[in-house]
């Protein structure tokens, strides 16, 4: 059973978004300022739409925190939508006599059509408001809490964009974290420099030259009324050996991470480590040979498994690659139809991003943090941070040298 779980509620243009995070240990230090950092990162990126200029996302704790520390009870957070005053009629809670005209032109690639059929709705706004990626703001808030928890156990999570449209970079953690000295201080310092470059990049790219090409690609798509997707990596460093389990399908770490990450809107594919490349090589060139010396401890000559073997973390960097489709709301809409009359119509258009891949990186970091935090709580047990830390000391750490 999951130890940490969360629920979100709220519509894109409703009054507010809320989340409740359950299962956090008591004594974890939290502040609204820390969570605001990741919320700001989610709003970053060249190609974002006008909504990012309106919202200044910041949560308020409503429950579960006292004097800056968790109580062990559910943590509730509220994020108010600053755009709400412009939507009080369109998104009114109570019944009104002057309701707006319903929307009947579903967008290809969006939840509109399937949602209207499933929930028997004649207005696609009843679907799009909840299916909007605006909901991911609360995932990021919950993930920021989880990130703070796993940091207590020296686990860190990073993300960076590897491609946007047809522009692809060459930098990959799969090449970076491999070999006998993969986790020494010098290697980790170089990695941190790369990740600092990512944080200062408008497209969250580690290579500024490639990043400039990505920006040009986004601008070209915007001029054509189009949108772009891309790919990115999520990297988990410091995960102890044995998160997840081989004993049941639903306890495997790659199962849990896949479910969490594929739940992010617009994510269409996922790979661990070498990914689809494992199907193209013989086993002798795929499986990561195990070595040991007194200085580095256990280490691998490669990390094609991406840090997970048999459904469990193996002590290497967990490396995940995600692929995001172009956003389905286009300023030059695709062909659709009016579901009331069945007459051809252009799809509905509302304010949207041209490219949101850098923002998706932050959402994926959050979902990864929540998954790692949950498996860490499962492994360590304990109802407080102090108790978890005591159990953590008792684990026979495999000496991997970080």
User: Each residue of 291-335: pLDDT tens digit?
Assistant: 988 877 788 889 999 999 999 999 999 999 999 999 998 989 999
Domains in the chain and their CATH numbers?
A: 5-394 (3.60.150.10)
User: Each residue of 245-281: pLDDT tens digit?
Assistant: 999 999 999 999 999 999 999 999 999 999 999 999 9
Determine the Cα–Cα distance for residues 152 and 213; give it in Å rounded to an integer. 38
pTM for this one? 0.94
Give the orientation angle of helix 136-151 with respect to helix 32-42, to 10 degrees: 130
DSSP 253: H
Residue 261 pLDDT: 98
Contacts of 120 (CB under 8 A, 6+ apart): none
Consecutive H or E run containing 368: helix 357-380
Q: Which DSSP string corresponds to 84-132?
A: GGGGTTTT-SS--SSPPPPP--PPTTSSHHHHHHHHT-S-THHHHHHHS
Residue 402 confidence class, pLDDT cut points 50, 70, 90: very low
By percentage, how much of the chain surpasses pLDDT 70?
Answer: 96
Residue 68 vs residue 331, higher pLDDT = 68
Q: Which residues on adjacent β-strands are paired with residue 112?
A: none
Residue with tokens 């400039």: 212
Residues 36, 148 contacting (CB under 8 angstroms): no
Which two structure tokens, joined as six digits, stand for 225?
């009324």
- Asked if the model's pLDDT at residue 351 lies above 80, the reply is no
Residue 96 pLDDT: 87
User: Each residue of 358-386: pLDDT tens digit?
Assistant: 999 999 999 999 999 999 999 999 999 99
**3-class DSSP assignment, residue 369:** helix
The angle formed by the CA atoms of residues 347, 357 and 222, to the nearest 5 degrees, is 50
User: Each residue of 95-127: pLDDT tens digit?
Assistant: 888 889 999 999 999 999 999 999 999 999 999
């Amino acid at each position: 059973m999951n130890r940490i779980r969360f629920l979100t509620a709220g519509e894109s243009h409703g009054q507010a978004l809320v989340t409740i995070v359950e299962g956090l240990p008591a004594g974890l230090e939290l502040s609204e300022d820390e969570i605001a950092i990741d919320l700001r990162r989610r709003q970053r990126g060249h190609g974002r739409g006008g909504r990012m200029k309106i919202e200044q996302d910041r949560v308020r704790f409503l429950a579960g925190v006292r004097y800056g520390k968790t109580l062990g009870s559910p943590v509730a957070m509220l994020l108010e939508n600053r755009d709400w005053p412009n939507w009080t009629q369109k998104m009114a809670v109570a019944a009104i006599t002057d309701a707006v005209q319903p929307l009947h032109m579903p967008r290809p690639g969006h939840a509109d059509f399937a949602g209207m059929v499933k929930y028997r709705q004649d207005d696609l706004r009843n679907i799009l408001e909840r299916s909007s990626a605006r909901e991911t703001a609360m995932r990021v808030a919950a993930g920021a809490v989880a990130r703070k928890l796993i940091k207590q156990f020296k686990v860190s999570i990073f993300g960076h964009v590897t491609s946007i449209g047809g522009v692809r970079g060459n930098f990959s953690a799969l090449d970076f974290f491999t070999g006998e000295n993969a986790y020494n201080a010098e290697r980790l310092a170089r990695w941190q420099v790369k990740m600092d470059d990512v944080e200062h990049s408008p497209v969250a790219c580690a290579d500024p030259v490639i990043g400039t090409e990505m920006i040009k690609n986004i601008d070209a798509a915007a001029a054509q009324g189009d949108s772009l997707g891309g790919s990115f990596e999520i990297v988990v460093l410091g995960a102890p050996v044995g998160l997840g389990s081989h004993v049941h399908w639903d306890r495997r770490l790659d199962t849990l991470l896949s479910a969490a990450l594929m739940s992010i809107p617009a994510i269409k594919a996922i790979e661990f480590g070498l990914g689809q490349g494992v199907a193209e090589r013989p086993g002798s060139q795929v499986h990561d040979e195990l070595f040991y010396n007194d200085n580095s401890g256990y280490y691998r000559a490669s990390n094609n498994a991406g840090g997970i073997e048999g459904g469990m973390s193996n002590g290497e960097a967990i490396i995940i690659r995600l692929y995001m489709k172009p956003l389905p709301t286009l300023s030059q809409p695709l062909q659709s139809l009016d579901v009331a009359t069945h007459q051809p119509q252009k799809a509905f258009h509302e304010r949207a991003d041209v490219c949101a891949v850098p923002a998706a990186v932050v959402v994926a970091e959050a979902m990864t943090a929540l998954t790692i935090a949950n498996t860490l709580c499962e492994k360590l047990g304990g109802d407080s941070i102090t108790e978890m830390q005591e159990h953590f000391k008792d684990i026979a750490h495999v000496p991997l040298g970080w």
